[in-house]
Amino acid sequence: MGTLFKNGTIITASDMVQADLLVEGEVITQIGRDLPVSGHLVVDCTNKYLMPGGIDVHTHLELPFGGTVSNDDFDTGHKAAAFGGTTSHIDFVIQPKGGSLHDGLTAWRKKAAVAQIDYGFHLAVTDLRPEVLDEIPSLVAEGVTSLKLFMAYKNVFQIDDATLYKTMQVAAANGMIVMVHAENGDVEASLTPKLLAEGKTDPIYHSHSRPREIEGEATNRAAIMSGMTGCPLYVVHVTCEPAVEAIRRARAIGYPVMGESCTQYFFLTAEGDLGKPGFEGAKYICSPPIRTEHDQAVLWQAVKDGTLQHVSTDHCNFWYEGGVGPWQDWAKQYNGGNWVEFEAQDPTYRRPGKELGKGNFAKIPNGMPGLEERMMVMWEHGVNSGRFSPQHFVEVMCTNPAKIFGMYPKKGALTIGADADIVVWDPNLKHTLSVSNTHMRTDYIVYEGMEITGKPVQVYLRGQKVVDGDEWLGSNGSGKFIHRHPHAPVL
Ligand code: DUC
Ligand code: ZN
Ligand code: ZN
């Protein structure tokens, strides 16, 4: 017996058609008009859209960072993602300094034992010793085909240009893709102490410490190296005009450069949000910082014209007021790339959050929640507002990330043989986003009060229903690792 999705409108990256869709086992086996219902469980999709499960290639679940650990893990984060229509994501494994890439992988595999949705791993290289350079090709056989390099976070994750260049050479030779966090960390490290010495300690000064120019410069530097090495480059969390222009220029001369922005950069501004009274602005601190309305317009245009191919979240949430979170033994292993002993398991432990940076913006943990809302806010402000078509929405949120990161057409497509990751989307359902109804482990959201029309009503992961309205039907361990392929296309 299969599951027959009847009378819905199927949206793919290229088409919007009325058709039935049959799922048998974990995959889609038939798509067509008036498929016979006999023997199948029927899901009536009248007035509903069917789209591939969303893919978010940029998350940080349970990341030890900034003196604490990000709140959502492979349990809570996964449920929240699925309630919002995302069924696959790729998280960043961090190589511990002094350790191997596989040490990082081992730690992340442990975290993912509770997975509820499907996931992949990128590997963030923080310490490129000769043996680590030699280790890179072995990742491909493990289904890890993307490397990440931080050009910022001096003395924590930041690498130098030689590391970037050498990594790109090895990646190119092995069909891998390199991702960069593009900000000039040396300039940031010069600006920050000066601001603090001048008494400029409020959250708004975070944006002064990381101006648009240092993002544009680093993006351009990485893009040039991509052209020189022939290594596909994917610039994460692009926020502003100088970075978009660097990518556009590189693409125009044929360099294999791609990029994404993240939901928050289309909606939040430094002036309006980081500049909120008191310490409130801490909620909106992420790096690179949120920018201006002008930059938002540039980003919408870049997604529309294909300069940027994906919108992810950089989901990395920390308590605003601090909170009590479960303590995991594995988190003792490292923090910010260094081996550190955390406090022992203690039920009264209060996991620190944004308050770590009261009186010093540089100590506010960087990151915010967003994994659950991504599809809904981009549908509302992308599709409902007429900025792009439903097909383009699917292309950007589901299909492009699957292609770029070597998991298409198993993921990111409603096609015969693809994994039956299906979102039944009600385009008429109204909803108000609020911390009171979120599934993320957070005490605030950044879209509080935003009204949206269109949201998932049912979500299927490889044929299994995991979300039914407000009900969670998935289980720990049901999420599978996505073994990705090298030599993915450059879009
Ligand atoms: N930026 C953030 O805001 N959080 C996590 C890491 C990053 O680069
Ligand atoms: Zn980053
Ligand atoms: Zn990130």
How far away, in angstroms, is 461 Cα from ligand 1 center? 28
In sequence order, the β-bridge partners of residue 312 are: 262
Best residue among 237, 239, 262, 317 to mutate for probing ligand 1, ranked by most atoms within 8 Å of CB: 237
Same domain, 48 and 75: no
Same domain, 201 and 308: yes
Residue 278 burial (CB count, 10 A): 9
In sequence order, the β-bridge partners of residue 3 are: 23, 41
Encoded tokens for 254: 């044929």
Q: Which atom of ligand 1 is nearest to the CA of 285?
A: 3
Q: Does 405 reside within a domain?
A: no
- Residue pair 411/421 in contact (Cβ under 8 Å)? The answer is yes
The predicted model scores a pTM of: 0.96
Distance CA 184, CA 158 (A): 9
Same domain, 44 and 68: no
How far away, in angstroms, is 317 Cα from ligand 2 center? 13
Same domain, 369 and 227: yes
Identify the pLDDT of residue 68.
86
Identify the pLDDT of residue 345.
53
When divided into structural domains, the chain yields a total of: 2
Best residue among 57, 236, 287 to mutate for probing ligand 1, ranked by most atoms within 8 Å of CB: 287
Decide if pLDDT at 13 tops 80.
Answer: yes
How far away, in angstroms, is 314 Cα from ligand 3 center? 5
How far away, in angstroms, is 352 Cα from ligand 2 center? 21
Decide if pLDDT at 257 tops 60.
Answer: yes
Same domain, 209 and 123: yes
Identify the pLDDT of residue 388.
95
Q: Does 451 reside within a domain?
A: yes
Q: Which atom of ligand 1 is nearest to the CA of 181?
A: 8
Torsions phi, psi for 242 (to 5 deg): -60, -35
Q: Which atom of ligand 1 is nearest to the CA of 63?
A: 5
Encoded tokens for 449: 């009060």
Same domain, 41 and 66: no
**Residue 134 domain boundaries:** 54-375
Instruction: Assign residue 10 the CATH number of its domain.
Output: 2.30.40.10
How far away, in angstroms, is 237 Cα from ligand 2 center? 7
Q: Does 399 reside within a domain?
A: no
How far away, in angstroms, is 367 Cα from ligand 2 center? 9
Judged by DSSP in three states, 56 sits in strand
Mean predicted confidence (pLDDT) in 364-371: 98
User: For ligand 1, atom 4, which residue shows the shortest CA distance?
Assistant: 367
Given pLDDT bands bounded at 50, 70 and 90, which one contains residue 350? low
| Residue-wise pLDDT tens digits, 168-196 | 999 999 999 999 999 999 999 999 999 99
- Residue pair 351/319 in contact (Cβ under 8 Å)? The answer is yes
Identify the pLDDT of residue 337.
44
Q: Does 381 reside within a domain?
A: no
Same domain, 464 and 344: no
Identify the pLDDT of residue 66.
87
Q: Which ligand is nearest to the CA of 58?
A: 3
Mean predicted confidence (pLDDT) in 404-415: 98
Same domain, 233 and 276: yes
Best residue among 316, 356, 364 to mutate for probing ligand 1, ranked by most atoms within 8 Å of CB: 316
Give the DSSP letter of residue 332: G
Same domain, 229 and 279: yes
How far away, in angstroms, is 397 Cα from ligand 3 center? 17
Lowest mean pLDDT among 101-115, 184-198, 240-254, 339-353: 339-353
Q: Which ligand is nearest to the CA of 181?
A: 2
Q: Does 430 reside within a domain?
A: yes
How far away, in angstroms, is 141 Cα from ligand 3 center? 24
How far away, in angstroms, is 352 Cα from ligand 1 center? 17
Average pLDDT value for the chain: 94
User: For ligand 1, atom 8, which residue shows the shortest CA distance?
Assistant: 287
Distance CA 170, CA 357 (A): 39
- Residue pair 91/371 in contact (Cβ under 8 Å)? The answer is no
Ligand 1 pocket by Cβ (under 6 Å): 60, 181, 286-287, 314, 316, 366-367
Domain boundary among 375, 396, 426: 375
User: For ligand 1, atom 1, which residue shows the shortest CA distance?
Assistant: 287
Best residue among 56, 60, 313 to mutate for probing ligand 1, ranked by most atoms within 8 Å of CB: 60
Same domain, 10 and 62: no
Same domain, 40 and 65: no
| Residue-wise pLDDT tens digits, 312-338 | 999 999 999 865 544 443 344 444 444
How far away, in angstroms, is 4 Cα from ligand 2 center? 41
Strand runs labelled E in 233-289: 233-235, 257-262
Q: Which ligand is nearest to the CA of 182?
A: 2
User: For ligand 1, atom 5, which residue shows the shortest CA distance?
Assistant: 367
Distance CA 168, CA 163 (A): 8
Vertex 325: Cα angle to 317 and 469 (nearest 5) = 65
User: For ligand 1, atom 7, which residue shows the shortest CA distance?
Assistant: 287
Mean predicted confidence (pLDDT) in 358-382: 97
Encoded tokens for 263: 């939901």
Q: Which atom of ligand 1 is nearest to the CA of 368?
A: 3
The residue among 193, 183, 251, 236 whose CA lies nearest residue 213 is 183
Instruction: Assign residue 174 the CATH number of its domain.
Output: 3.20.20.140
Q: Does 183 reside within a domain?
A: yes
Q: Does 394 reside within a domain?
A: no
Mean predicted confidence (pLDDT) in 254-277: 98
Best residue among 286, 354, 371 to mutate for probing ligand 1, ranked by most atoms within 8 Å of CB: 286
How far away, in angstroms, is 83 Cα from ligand 2 center? 25
Same domain, 72 and 120: yes
**Assign residue 444 a region: left if phi > 0, alpha if psi is -120 to 50, beta otherwise?**
beta
Given pLDDT bands bounded at 50, 70 and 90, which one contains residue 351? confident
Q: How far is CA 361 from CA 260, 282, 324, in A?
A: 26, 8, 23
Decide if pLDDT at 132 tops 50.
Answer: yes
Q: Does 389 reside within a domain?
A: no
Given pLDDT bands bounded at 50, 70 and 90, which one contains residue 69? confident
In DSSP notation, 80-119 reads HHHHTTEEEEEEEEEPPTTS-HHHHHHHHHHHGGG-SSEE
